[in-house]
């Protein structure tokens, strides 16, 4: 087996993503503050705003999962999240990316997994091309998040659902990422936290390997898997397990060069 590229989900995989009623209520205060700064007033108290947004979110999630479509941020906020409020559509269009960024960064808490940077380095030194495939409503959030973690430069490709209009598990977004990398599906591996979105989508796209690393959100998203749903090839507890597994399979992209890279990494560690 030869693997040339390893692609990752972001939220729940490279980073730990969590939320609580308290954090989401605080995010609604921030959202109201942002709208006021933009000249838009919402009369609803944060508690009422949160309930309205959650109703809209559930309706949007049902639609997007049924159609495997990611609507642009202006549609998401006008037609679902803020549909119960009388805000001018043109104004929502104007501030939609700011709203989406608040949704992605304040309605959810994000923290890089402790071994993520070291794990990416281990894969990179072996010659693997790396990419991210993310379901996200904000065009700016993934770049900002990866940049904030200091890991943006590890990735040769970022494929975002809000840009392509396609959501995981639709295999087309998995194939779009590989097209950008110039890698065939049978020479690609994918790492995600869910079977329903990540493993099933990667397998449907023909990826050679699918890894699962479970997260805070896994149980909820995988609570109703259909019969016959594909299973991961490997379930790992830490991202650092991936490179050794690929080593054991002899799956390095450059054969001897990949082995040499792994040896160089080992030598570098021994000198630390």
What's the CATH number where 250 sits?
3.40.50.1000
Query: Is there a single domain that holds both residue 80 and residue 128?
Result: no
Query: Is there a single domain that holds both residue 146 and residue 192?
Result: yes
Query: Is there a single domain that holds both residue 138 and residue 197?
Result: yes
pLDDT for residue 108? 87
Mean pLDDT of the chain: 92
**Does residue 118 carry a pLDDT above 90?**
yes
Q: What confidence tens digit (pLDDT) does each residue in 30-50 have?
A: 999 999 999 999 989 999 999
> Cα Rg for the chain, rounded, in angstroms?
20
Contact assessment for residue 180 and residue 132, using Cβ atoms and an 8 Å cutoff:
no
Q: How many residues are given for the chain?
A: 272
Query: Is there a single domain that holds both residue 11 and residue 24?
Result: no
Which of 59, 78, 107 is the last residue in one of the domains?
107
Total-model pTM:
0.90
Number of domains in the chain: 2
pLDDT for residue 226? 86
Q: What confidence tens digit (pLDDT) does each residue in 186-219 have?
A: 999 999 999 999 999 999 999 999 999 999 989 9
Contact assessment for residue 110 and residue 15, using Cβ atoms and an 8 Å cutoff:
yes
Query: Is there a single domain that holds both residue 89 and residue 201?
Result: no
Give every CB contact of residue 165 below 8 A, 6+ residues apart in sequence: 69, 70, 71, 72
The rounded distance, in Å, linking the Cα atoms of 205 and 223 is 23
Query: Is there a single domain that holds both residue 205 and residue 86?
Result: no
Query: Is there a single domain that holds both residue 154 and residue 32?
Result: no
The rounded distance, in Å, linking the Cα atoms of 64 and 70 is 6
pLDDT for residue 127? 96
DSSP secondary structure letter of residue 11: B
pLDDT for residue 254? 63
The pLDDT confidence band at residue 256, using thresholds 50, 70 and 90, is very low
Query: Is there a single domain that holds both residue 9 and residue 144?
Result: yes
Query: Is there a single domain that holds both residue 71 and residue 121?
Result: no
Query: Is there a single domain that holds both residue 129 and residue 231?
Result: yes
The rounded distance, in Å, linking the Cα atoms of 74 and 97 is 7
Which of 33, 8, 6, 46 is closest to 145 using CA atoms? 8
Which of 107, 132, 152 is the last residue in one of the domains?
107
**Does residue 259 carry a pLDDT above 80?**
no
β-pairing, 209-213 vs 234-236, is parallel
Q: What confidence tens digit (pLDDT) does each residue in 128-183 have?
A: 999 999 999 999 999 999 999 999 999 999 999 999 999 999 999 999 999 999 99
Which of 107, 136, 162 is the last residue in one of the domains?
107
Q: How many CB atoms lie within 10 A of CB 21?
A: 10
pLDDT for residue 255? 52
Query: Is there a single domain that holds both residue 169 and residue 101?
Result: no
**Does residue 263 carry a pLDDT above 50?**
no
Q: Please state the rounded mean pLDDT for residues 250-263.
A: 58
Helix (H, G, I), strand (E, B) or coil at 158: strand
pLDDT for residue 257? 41
pLDDT for residue 116? 98
Domain containing 40: what range? 20-107
Q: What confidence tens digit (pLDDT) does each residue in 54-63 have?
A: 999 999 999 9
Q: Please state the rounded mean pLDDT for residues 261-265.
A: 47
Query: Is there a single domain that holds both residue 135 and residue 177?
Result: yes
Q: What confidence tens digit (pLDDT) does each residue in 4-36 have?
A: 999 999 999 999 999 899 999 999 999 999 999
């Amino acid at each position: 087996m030869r693997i040339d590229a390893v692609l990752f989900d972001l939220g729940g995989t490279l980073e730990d993503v969590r939320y609580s009623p308290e954090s989401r209520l605080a995010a609604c205060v921030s959202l109201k503050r942002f709208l006021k700064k933009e000249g838009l007033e919402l009369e609803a108290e944060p508690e009422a705003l949160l309930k309205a947004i959650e109703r809209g979110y559930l309706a949007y999630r049902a639609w997007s999962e049924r159609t495997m479509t990611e609507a642009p941020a202006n549609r998401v906020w006008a037609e679902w999240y803020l549909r119960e409020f009388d805000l001018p559509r043109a104004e929502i269009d104007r501030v939609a990316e700011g709203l989406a960024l608040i949704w992605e960064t304040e309605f959810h808490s994000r923290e890089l997994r402790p071994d993520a940077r070291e794990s990416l380095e281990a894969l990179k030194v072996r010659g693997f091309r790396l990419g991210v495939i993310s379901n996200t409503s904000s065009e700016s959030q993934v770049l900002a998040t990866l940049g904030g973690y200091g890991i943006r430069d590890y990735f040769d490709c970022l494929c975002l659902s809000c840009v392509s209009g396609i959501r995981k598990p639709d295999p087309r977004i998995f194939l779009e990422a590989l097209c950008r990398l110039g890698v065939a599906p049978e020479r690609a591996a994918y790492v995600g936290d869910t079977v329903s979105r990540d493993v099933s989508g990667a397998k449907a796209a023909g990826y050679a390997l699918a890894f699962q690393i479970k997260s805070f959100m896994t149980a909820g998203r995988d609570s109703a898997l259909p019969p016959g749903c594909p299973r991961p090839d490997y379930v790992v507890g830490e991202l650092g397990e991936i490179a050794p597994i690929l080593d054991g399979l002899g799956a390095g992209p450059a054969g001897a060069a990949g082995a040499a890279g792994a040896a160089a990494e080992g030598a570098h560690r021994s000198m630390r």
